[in-house]
Amino acid sequence: MQNLTVVKIGGAVLEDTASLKDFLLRFDAITGNKILVHGGGRTATQLADRLGIKTQIVDGRRITDKDMLEVVIMVYGGLINKNTVAFLQSIGCNALGITGADLNIIRAVQRPVGDIDYGLVGDISEINIKVLQLLLSEGFIPVIAPLTHDGLGNLLNTNADTIAASIASAMSELFNVLLVYSFEKEGVLLDISDRQSVIPLMNRELYSKFRNENIIHSGMLPKLDNSFKALEDGVKGVIITSSNALDLTKGTRLTL
Amino acid sequence: MQNLTVVKIGGAVLEDTASLKDFLLRFDAITGNKILVHGGGRTATQLADRLGIKTQIVDGRRITDKDMLEVVIMVYGGLINKNTVAFLQSIGCNALGITGADLNIIRAVQRPVGDIDYGLVGDISEINIKVLQLLLSEGFIPVIAPLTHDGLGNLLNTNADTIAASIASAMSELFNVLLVYSFEKEGVLLDISDRQSVIPLMNRELYSKFRNENIIHSGMLPKLDNSFKALEDGVKGVIITSSNALDLTKGTRLTL
């Protein structure tokens, strides 16, 4: 099987052109098949503010009504995705910017209303691994915006971490997949105030321990839950590392 | 050679969901290879208004500063492109929404400043016909937003009529191409106030005559100039027809 690296990029780096370009140069340097999944929540919130649309985030997830969906389609599918593609093309990386609707790559169902009504948010039901494989075989680099579709003509807002993990898991049928979550911090930290306290290696047992002791909490939990789920689903490795100087030898490496 | 139909859609139909869906159903019914190129200027102007960004149009072309470029990237590359793709996917049309930056499909150079400084507007320098051919051979339907890139990391705003004509011309090397301009009117009209006065067939000689007599003027001129240029460049046929009930047997058919 060939190798495939699925990299998720999110957070402040997306808003700073110089940092983003540095990140993309390092992404380009990763050898073999690769896929980039990006977020863009901060920029979406800024545009919503400018348009007088109220942002509501519950448990790290954006409540998405019709107006907010338009905002995220414009920001994720347009502004961030296309600027990223244009920069990658300028350094010879043959990027193709897509959403889950393009070539029917990610199908989702609108999340049922539970305690919270998240609105036009999609839970992934199917990843079209054959089409992704075809794109990769042509040397194309998919750059994926965190939008899915329901097959009925509607786009849906879907968390980028979840998209990255779902693609990594699904593509494990065809590739040896490494999933990389890159974000503001150097990795999973023992002490959130100490950037040097990166946990270099963590298995599920250690994760449970840290979680029980409240050393790892809040925003890291869904990322880590997604990661261990991906490992169970056949992903060969997960690395959580800094987007500032993307280096796959650093950060926190997860194992089962 | 195989056939290829390049359809340009623009104007009011893009703003009316029911009309757009009807148009896309008819687009889907076109047999053989096809490419859709869309505009979206009215929606861009509306978003610019909401953001307090002033719209300036000179000779039908948008002056594009940095803020306006962000608006058109969001509207053309995001909102219109992705909603169109999602609808096409829902009717089984395997659409792939792209800009000229994606897979380096349309390279452009920023327009030199002449009497008017159009700003971040691109004049097309190269169409990547091999990549388009590859996408078509896989049964993918390219849906192209009117944005190009300069190969230096910058997106540029490019007129959708011009993109459609340039793609049609370039692809004539590989396909028998039919170029279809669909818009608000039934075709090229002898009398702008009479929707029934469609000129069914027009060659360059007749066009010169109507132009000299001022029967055809203003907004129709660039469309027709683009069209005759495309015919000279090897496009087999050009049809200018209504987007309201897209029918390739109606409208105005152009010949050299």
Residues facing A239 on adjacent strands: A180, A253
B82 CB neighbours in chain A (<8 A) are 73, 77-78, 99, 101-102, 147, 155
In contact, A232 and A169? CB cutoff 8 Å: no
pLDDT band at residue B12 using 50, 70 and 90 as cut-offs: confident
Distance CA A35, CA A176 (A): 13
DSSP string, B118-130: -BSBEEEEEE-HH
Q: What is the pLDDT of residue A218?
A: 81
B130 close contact with A: CB closer than 8 A: no
Mean pLDDT of A136-160: 98
Q: pLDDT tens digits, residue range A190-203?
A: 998 999 999 999 99
pLDDT band at residue A64 using 50, 70 and 90 as cut-offs: very high
Question: Would residue B14 be called left, alpha or beta, if left means φ above 0 and alpha means ψ between -120 and 50 degrees?
Answer: alpha
What are A166's two structure tokens? 């779902």
What are B188's two structure tokens? 């090229």
Q: What is the pLDDT of residue B240?
A: 97
For the entire predicted model, the pTM comes to: 0.97
Element housing B232 (H / E): helix B220-232
Q: What is the pLDDT of residue A1?
A: 93
In contact, A157 and A146? CB cutoff 8 Å: yes
Whether A73 sits inside 8 A of B79 (CB atoms) is yes
Minimal Cβ distance to B149: which of A86, A138, A153: A86
Nearest-Cα residue of chain B relative to residue A46: B51
A99 CB neighbours in chain B (<8 A) are 82, 85, 97
Residues of chain B numbered 85-104 and touching chain A (CB < 8 Å): 85-87, 89-90, 94-99, 101-104
A53-67, A215-229, B136-150: which is most confident? B136-150
Whether A101 sits inside 8 A of B94 (CB atoms) is no
Q: What dihedral do alpha carbons B118, B119, B120, B124 form, nearest 10°?
A: 40
| Domain coverage including residue B87 | 2-254
Q: Which amino acid is at A119?
A: G
In contact, B201 and B253? CB cutoff 8 Å: yes
Q: What is the pLDDT of residue B199?
A: 96
Minimal Cβ distance to A89: which of B82, B89, B104: B104
Mean pLDDT across chain A? 96
Q: What is the pLDDT of residue A59?
A: 79
pLDDT band at residue B96 using 50, 70 and 90 as cut-offs: very high
Q: Give per-residue burial for A157-187: e unless 16+ CB within 10 Å, then b.
A: bbbbbbbbbbbbbbbbebbbbbbbbbbebbb
Whether B103 sits inside 8 A of A140 (CB atoms) is yes
Q: Give me the percent of chain A exceeding a pLDDT of 90.
A: 91
A25 close contact with B: CB closer than 8 A: no
Minimal Cβ distance to A78: which of B78, B98, B140: B78
A58 close contact with B: CB closer than 8 A: no
Mean pLDDT of B1-30: 94
Whether A155 sits inside 8 A of B86 (CB atoms) is yes
Residue in A43, A47, A74 to test binding to B, most B beta-carbons within 10 Å: A74
Mean pLDDT of A163-181: 98
Edge to edge, the sheet with strand A147-149 lists A122-127, A106-110, A147-149, A155-157
pLDDT band at residue A60 using 50, 70 and 90 as cut-offs: confident
- Is residue B36 helix, strand or coil? strand
Tally Cβ neighbours within 10 Å of residue B170: 21
What are A195's two structure tokens? 């950037």
| Residues shown for chain B | 256
Domains in chain A: how many in total?
A: 1
Among residues A32, A41, A54, the alpha carbon closest in space to that of A9 is found at A41
Residue B211 sits in a domain of what CATH number?
A: 3.40.1160.10
ipTM reported for the complex, 2 dp: 0.96
Distance CA B109, CA B148 (A): 9
Q: What is the pLDDT of residue B139?
A: 98
Mean pLDDT of A56-81: 95
Q: What is the pLDDT of residue B244?
A: 87
Whether A78 sits inside 8 A of B74 (CB atoms) is yes
pLDDT band at residue A61 using 50, 70 and 90 as cut-offs: confident
pLDDT band at residue B108 using 50, 70 and 90 as cut-offs: very high
Give yes or no for residue A153 having a pLDDT over 90.
Answer: yes
Give yes or no for residue A217 having a pLDDT over 90.
Answer: no
Distance from CA of B89 to the nearest CA of A (A): 6
Q: Give per-residue burial for B171-206: e unless 16+ CB within 10 Å, then b.
A: bbebbbbbbbbbbebbbbbeeeeeeeebbeebeeee
Q: What is the pLDDT of residue A48?
A: 98
